[in-house]
Structure 1
Amino acid sequence: VRNSAVRTLFQTLGSHGQKLSKSMWEDCLWNYVFPMLDQASHMAATSSKDEWRGKELGTRGGKAVHMLIHHSRNTAQKQWDETLVLVLNGISRILRSLFPFLRSLSNFWSGWESLLIIVKDSILNGSKEVALAAVSCLQTTIVSHSLKGNLPMPYLTSVLEVYEFVFQRSPSYGVNSTSKAKQEILHGLGELYVQAQSMFDSQMYTQLLAIIHLAIKQSMMGSENVETDIGNISPIQRTVLEILPLLRPTEQFSSLWLILLREILHYLPRPDESLRSEEEVKRTNAPDGNQETRDETPNGIASPSLSKAELDSHSSKTKTMCISSNVFPEKVIPLLVDISLQAPTVEKHIILPEIVESLGRYKPFS
């Protein structure tokens, strides 16, 4: 019943919203839409995760027979998640079709800020479905209206700030819902830049690259990278490789080519990092007689040595990290060369020595 009511409200607003007056829209937004969003978000975050048992239908063989409840709806939290997804999708629909009109309403910016707060929380703490719906709600709005020229700069910058906040605050370890949302954010950023290049000044472009840098940094440090099959890269890294070619600066800001290319150069390991990684592999692969490790303490008492099983486990993880973290730079190299060849002549001549130096120092692990 609750979800049907939500669907009915947003279908009505989406189909007949253009016929409503400003005063009616203001009443609808402040008394129904945004309070509904707040309530659904609160209930999705606080409702019980305990699984329900269906209604008892009878007995068979002396045992009670219960009505089956689908696993996607067998807790109060999952049902509120479903409601929150419907609300976010409904808001996305009316923003996509009526955003220029809604911006003219009094205090709409306040409502927009409330939406951003809930979107941030949904991406960071919500289920996969909620997180993806939250990303889609923002992405659909800014992409569709930036293409039409109906997106004021404060709205675009506020969305970039949300995305940056998500990558700053989200855990570096692999959480499936957050990881999927990150991939959608990165894809969305690439699409947004293609559609709204003229809106990106040097500061916003630098912020865009900073978000991508955070994504790469987390993917290299997190357990998602350790768990990646040897010879492959993580989904986040794959997404970054897909969108980087889309971020070529416009002629208006040709100096940004240097920022882009130097950012890509950061993805190649520095010589000291390569040496440390190789030494780590050598130490962990040393013969059993040399595997005993002790941490010296001020009082001269050494900590107990690791067991062979612990050392084997550590060695395996270290080698996987080294190999996996080296696969991404190897895939970056042809991309770096291709993008650098597209740079304007002046910027190309400036960056070429840095590229040659970085590639000359780069040493793949054997």
Structure 2
Amino acid sequence: MSRDVALTARLKYFTKRLTSFNPGRVWSFATQIAEEQGKWAPPIFIDMLWWAAFHDTAYIDYYEADFALLSRRERKTFMTSLVQHHLAAALNNRTDVLQFENKLTFNKRFAEYLGREWLDLEDSTPEQFQAFVERHPVIIAKHPVGREGKGVFRYDTAEHADIDQLRDELIGRGERLIEEPIAQHPYLAEYCAGTVNTTRVATFFDGTTVHVLMAAQKFGRGAVSDQFTWGGFFTMIDENGKSFGPGHTGKHVSKYLTHPDSGKSIVDYQVPLWDEVVDLVTRAAKEVPTVPYVGWDVAVGPEGPVLIEGNWTPGLYETRVSATGIRTGSRERHRPVIEASRR
């Protein structure tokens, strides 16, 4: 049984699972896995229940990490949603995380790391918005609170004859955060010029040292966001900023040796200015010591990296053996934050 989650958290999770248990949903996962991997569904169904109850593994984690293809020892090397949420809840101050949940608050708190101009429509005048779009004819509009790339939109203001009306429409739809588009590094633009391809870096600040726990490079397909909801995919990144496997979406048979649109190699990918990326997140991670466990989204520009946002629940990024052939996850790299949660 996993000991990386406190007993009270595990009991709470187990109780929630019992009260919301839907055997049809679990069976649906089991039959899908069996079909994709040429196995028999009943043993997978039982195994999923066992790992959910005693090894902190949600059904979707079991599916997306290909647990049916892994040995018990290999499975124990993978992070799971429950472990990650437990760590975030145990270590991150519940009040101070609000600085990360709201993008407007985040932009104010981390202004020196953004490298771009932005505007709060509800805290500015129509004249200020007019001047903003004159400087930046293409704008990025965001809902202040949103996840997975939802609530993010791109507008060419030249297509709108009445800028005051556009402003009113944006406010009416809750798209009150307006940002200057980010220019990305030429190397990244070779992969997908139409999307800012961001790097997710999870860090833990123990009060003295900032530990880089995990990194993943996300790639877009031309949409405003590189998230899965917009057709994006990712590859895992090692401690030197290098890809260590094909890209994938977390879904079955999603394997990208090259970018499907540009043809650029995913397995040979190297995060540009990696040392500067690490320096950026190291400095940012010390800004709010009461929120020590964060997943940062970083965009690398021509002159250096900038922050997009910080996620106080860092997001689960793991390799998938059916796509990458890699049978080891990132839990050991999370050891510093796991040990801290036990104190």
Determine which structure has greater relative contact order: mean sequence separation of CA pairs < 8 Å that are 6+ residues apart, divided by chain length.
Answer: 2
Pick the structure with more helix per residue.
1
| TM-score, normalization by structure 1 | 0.24
**Which protein is bigger by CA-based radius of gyration?**
1
The structure carrying a bigger strand percent of its residues is: 2
